[in-house]
Amino acid sequence: MGNLIDGRSIAEKVYVDLRREIADLKSKGVTPGLAVVLVGDNPASRTYVRSKDKMSRELGLHSVKLELPASTTQSELLARVEELNCDPKVHGILVQSPPPKQIDEGAIVRALDPRKDVDGFHPLNVAKLAMGDPTGFVPCTPLGVQRLLIESKIDIAGAHVVVLGRSMIVGKPVALLLMQKAKGGDATVTVAHSRSKNLEEITRSADILIAAIGRAHFVKADHVRDGAVIIDVGINRMDDKTNERGYRLVGDVAFDEVAPKAKAITPVPGGVGPMTIAMLMSNTVKAARMFSSA
Ligand code: NDP
């Protein structure tokens, strides 16, 4: 399909650049290091952690995968985070969300050294994004969305971007990123959520619609104007008896009916997902560069 934004091939392009940067850092004696911490045995989290660890190994990073039992206490986890904060071989730390319920996720994020917070969730990095300070870390999914738009040569400056969803992981940071007075920004951004009135009217006014609500096939053809660019962040399970797992992954956008109207559209899977991991690797390399000032 001519209007498909292929996240896998754009991620490959990112990796080509990253490999060059990693080689350069290594020639200066610095191997970027990423620690991924999984607490408990949530199957989706386990899959995410495995892919992140696999990719960082493939790129030749120093990769630490910590798998802690579901019974891990808050103070045990804080102690492990502190060890990683102090480990000079580790430049990036990620604690996979969601943790078991005895863990206060906010407190864990605040305990991270913000210079190693490659997920961009520490309050200092949130503030830096809001302030437009490029020394901070931007969350990986929003960064991936922006990169997809840039690589697909879609004009962001002056465009009306409608973001569906206002989470701290996707909706809010992607809105902040695309409205920044900077390259890859300068959009006019509207953020809509579950309390928004006249949702269809709002989404139909979008030049670029970013769906991040976690509702399978929520965005229909009527939500979209002809020629809009559609970025589907959603990852939802839909029952599918023809699939051996009994389900398949679908986005927040009803792809089949929306795609014919769209100027460009991301598929699920194979759109935003691969970019999220690519941006995690990119943030880790950035952290290593900043630590070593290389
Ligand atoms: P959250 O559940 O944290 O946030 C969902 C947001 O959508 C909320 O702001 C909510 O509004 C809004 N919302 C829910 N229902 C509606 C509705 N009917 N109409 C309008 N707005 C609605 O989800 P996340 O942001 O964490 O994730 C969103 C989706 O993106 C999920 O499918 C998730 O799996 C996926 N995801 C994909 C990633 C990737 O790499 N591709 C990475 C991260 C997430 P309110 O605030 O009012 O409750």
Question: Which atom of ligand 1 is nearest the CA belonging to 166?
Answer: 9
pTM above 0.95, yes or no: yes
214 lines ligand 1 (CB under 6 A): yes
Number of other CB atoms surrounding residue 269 within 10 Å: 15
Rg (CA), the chain: 19
33 confidence band (pLDDT: 50, 70, 90): very high
User: In the prediction, which pLDDT does 294 show?
Assistant: 57
Q: What digits encode the pLDDT tens for the residues 281-292?
A: 999 999 999 998
The answer, yes or no, to whether the previous bond of 98 is cis (omega within 30 of 0) is yes
Bridge pairing between strands 236-239 and 247-250 = antiparallel
User: Nearest C-alpha to atom 40 of ligand 1 is from which residue?
Assistant: 273
Tell me what the pLDDT averaged over the chain comes to: 97
Q: What digits encode the pLDDT tens for the residues 8-29?
A: 999 999 999 999 999 999 999 9
84 lines ligand 1 (CB under 6 A): no
Q: Tell me, yes or no, if 52 is annotated catalytic.
A: yes
**What is the spatial distance between Cα 157 and Cα 159, in angstroms, rounded to a whole number?**
6
Question: Quick check: 130 pLDDT over 70?
Answer: yes
> What's the mean pLDDT in 52-80?
97
C-alpha 129 to ligand 1 mean position (Å): 20
Please name the helix (run of DSSP H) or strand (run of DSSP E) that holds residue 259, with its range, or none. none
Max Cα-Cα span within the chain: 56
CB-neighbour burial class of residue 140 (10 A; exposed 0-12, middle 13-18, buried 19+): buried
280 lines ligand 1 (CB under 6 A): no
Tokens representing 74 are 């808050």
Q: What digits encode the pLDDT tens for the residues 176-226?
A: 999 999 999 999 999 999 999 999 999 999 999 999 999 999 999 999 999
Which of 198, 235, 266 should be mutated for ligand 1, with most atoms under 8 A from CB? Answer: 235
127 confidence band (pLDDT: 50, 70, 90): very high
- 245: Cβ contacts below 8 Å, ≥ 6 apart: none
**What is the spatial distance between Cα 28 and Cα 25, in angstroms, rounded to a whole number?**
5
**Which of 53, 117, 119, 232 is the catalytic position?**
119
> What's the mean pLDDT in 251-265?
98
Which of 96, 233, 248, 250 should be mutated for ligand 1, with most atoms under 8 A from CB? Answer: 233
234 lines ligand 1 (CB under 6 A): yes
Tokens representing 238 are 């839909």
Q: Which of 40-44, 64-68, 200-204 has the lowest mean pLDDT?
A: 40-44
190 lines ligand 1 (CB under 6 A): no
User: Nearest C-alpha to atom 34 of ligand 1 is from which residue?
Assistant: 235
**What is the spatial distance between Cα 121 and Cα 177, in angstroms, rounded to a whole number?**
14
User: In the prediction, which pLDDT does 199 show?
Assistant: 98
203 lines ligand 1 (CB under 6 A): no
293 confidence band (pLDDT: 50, 70, 90): confident
C-alpha 130 to ligand 1 mean position (Å): 20
User: In the prediction, which pLDDT does 128 show?
Assistant: 98
